[in-house]
Amino acid sequence: CSAAEEKDLVIIGGGVAGYVAAIKAGQEGLKVACIEKRGALGGTCLNVGCIPSKSLLNNSHLYHQIMHDSKNRGIEVGDVKLNLQAMMKAKETSVTGLTKGIEYLFKKNGVEYIKGTGSFASEHEVRVKLTDGGETSVVGKNILIATGSEATPFPGLEIDEKRVITSTGALSLDKVPEKMIVIGGGIIGLEMGSVWSRLGSQVTVVEFLNQIGGPGMDTEIATQAQKLLKKQGVDFKLGTKVVSGDASGEKVKLEVDAAKGGKAETLEADVVLVAIGRRPYTAGLGLENIGLEVDERGRVVIDSEYRTKASHIRCIGDVTFGPMLAHKAEEEAVAAVEFIKKGYGHVNYGVIPSVMYTHPEVAWVGQNEQDLKKDNIPYKIGTFPFSANSRAKTNLDTDGMVKMLADPETDRLLGCHIIGPNAGEMIAEATLALEYGASTEDIARTCHAHPTLAEAFKEAAMATYSKAIHF
């Protein structure tokens, strides 16, 4: 791209937020360029996040199931062996297939892909240090910041991605560690802890709070999830804070302290996974060159139309407010381009689903019981266990339940929390219901195919205002 060329939209960052905005802008007929520095499109999600983690979760589950849950299904297997290198290769095949797919979509929609690191030279000009050497610059009528997030480091424990790792290292260890400690029992800790536990590691999760699952998970569901993961072999130390670490010896040592009831002790492991949250990434972006603000947590400050202080510069995704989720970034990308092109756009932040892809999966949308209690909002509950669902029974996969929270006067759905097989797919139905303001009676009177897991969803709805038929 020549230095003088002006685009309608310049996007910094080719993650989910940036690449979706780029495709949408191309579709809307805008002249658009997307700058990405990692050498591949798709950002954290496709390269070192959602996609590789789900590949490993899926295949490690299969391995674990073949080892421990096949005989009772009438399947006699012989010599089952883990080929970790092949499992990692399968993961890489999924990742590269998808990242290359985005390059194709860029071409199809006329998006210019600039490989390099972007930084603000002025309010309309982004200077790019090209990956292949040299520099260029691109001028935008509009600019979109979509630079994402990075793992929050643990003070005093240097990340080497081999013995002290973030999720990135946890996605490509070259052997199964004998003992792994996970600092943080949020979604990353539990997903990646599950993978390595299934592959043979002795995993201990140390969590500061008295509940696993990170922010948003319903307490009753989190307690069930913890019990089920414990049954699979993951150990937990809740109410326990890791205060310091030392990786200088043969083993990595952690000092933990009673935070909320846990006890002080020294723990040792071969590998320590730091999973204490993620923080916005703006390093080298030159926000200071144009006086843009970040808040105390490093998030780029924006208004309700994603505008920064300079109204032609917008910001979306992990680098700004809201849950750090790929589908949230994707919604914002479409809305931000619509604001630019049409002057209006919308994301319903009350209806963003969350999924933890362990086995069983945990998924939720809307409000949870502890928040309703805290806010003094009246509610009624309907639950249905998968142990009473015919499809779960045929699948020999009956752990978990559907829990619905509804307004006691109107039956309007307030929140839905599922722990069980395929919860991540089933939550789409609750999300649609919540988006359209459905009542639980609307859901319960909607015919659901038999035998499906989704019948548990229907029966939990029924249980909020009447009785479930099968329980």
Q: Binding to ligand NAD by residue 188, rule CB under 6 A?
A: yes
Q: Which of the residues 346 through 365 are near ligand NAD (CB under 6 A)? A: 355-357
Does residue 346 carry a catalytic annotation?
A: no
Distance CA 374, CA 382 (A): 20
Structure tokens at 426: 């089933």
Q: Binding to ligand NAD by residue 325, rule CB under 6 A?
A: yes
- Cβ closest to ligand FAD, residue 44 vs residue 439: 44
Q: Binding to ligand NAD by residue 317, rule CB under 6 A?
A: no
Binding partner of residue 209 among ligand NAD, ligand FAD, none, CB under 5 to 8 Å per kind? ligand NAD
User: Tokens 């935070």 belong to which residue?
Assistant: 259
Q: Binding to ligand FAD by residue 95, rule CB under 6 A?
A: no
| Smallest separation (angstroms) from ligand NAD to the CB of 161 | 15
Distance CA 383, CA 381 (A): 7
Q: Binding to ligand NAD by residue 191, rule CB under 6 A?
A: yes
| Smallest separation (angstroms) from ligand NAD to the CB of 359 | 13
CA trace torsion 355, 85, 101, 348 (10° rounding): 10
Binding partner of residue 241 among ligand NAD, ligand FAD, none, CB under 5 to 8 Å per kind? ligand NAD
- Cβ closest to ligand FAD, residue 218 vs residue 318: 318
Q: Binding to ligand FAD by residue 16, rule CB under 6 A?
A: yes
Phi, psi of 421 (to 5 degrees): -60, 135
Distance CA 1, CA 128 (A): 11
**What does the per-residue mask of binding to ligand FAD show for 20-39, with x meaning CB under 6 A?**
---------------xxxx-
Which of 232, 262, 266 minimizes the C-alpha distance to 249? 266
Query: Could you tell me which stretch among 80-88, 195-203, 272-280, 437-445 binds ligand NAD (CB under 6 A)?
Result: 272-280
Over its C-alpha atoms, the chain yields an Rg (Å, rounded) of: 24
Q: Binding to ligand NAD by residue 281, rule CB under 6 A?
A: no
Q: Which of the residues 177 through 236 are near ligand FAD (CB under 6 A)? A: 188
Q: Which of 91, 111, 118, 254 binds ligand FAD (CB under 6 A)?
A: 118
Binding partner of residue 114 among ligand NAD, ligand FAD, none, CB under 5 to 8 Å per kind? none
Binding partner of residue 277 among ligand NAD, ligand FAD, none, CB under 5 to 8 Å per kind? ligand NAD
Q: Which residues pair with 402 in a beta bridge?
A: 384, 418
Q: Which residues, 6 or more positions from 415, have their beta carbon under 8 angstroms from its beta carbon?
A: 218, 364, 365, 366, 367, 368, 369, 372, 404, 405, 434
| Strands in 311-430 per DSSP E | 313-315, 354-356, 361-366, 380-385, 401-406, 413-420
- Cβ closest to ligand FAD, residue 53 vs residue 226: 53
Q: How many residues sit close enough to ligand FAD to count as binding (CB under 6 A)?
A: 35
Q: Binding to ligand NAD by residue 332, rule CB under 6 A?
A: no
Selecting among 64, 68, 450, 470, the annotated active-site residue is 450
Q: Which residues, 6 or more positions from 199, have their beta carbon under 8 angstroms from its beta carbon?
A: 60, 63, 64, 82, 84, 176
Q: What angle do CA 238, 242, 246 make, to 5 degrees?
A: 145
Q: If you ran DSSP here, which 8-state letter would residue 322 be given?
A: S
Phi, psi of 280 (to 5 degrees): -55, 145
Which of 90, 105, 83, 129 minimizes the C-alpha distance to 32? 105
Enumerate the active-site residues: 450
Contact residues toward ligand FAD (CB under 6 A) are 12-18, 35-38, 43-45, 49-50, 53, 117-118, 146-149, 167, 188, 281, 284-285, 317-318, 324-327, 329
Contact residues toward ligand NAD (CB under 6 A) are 183-189, 191, 206-209, 214, 241-242, 275-278, 323-325, 355-357
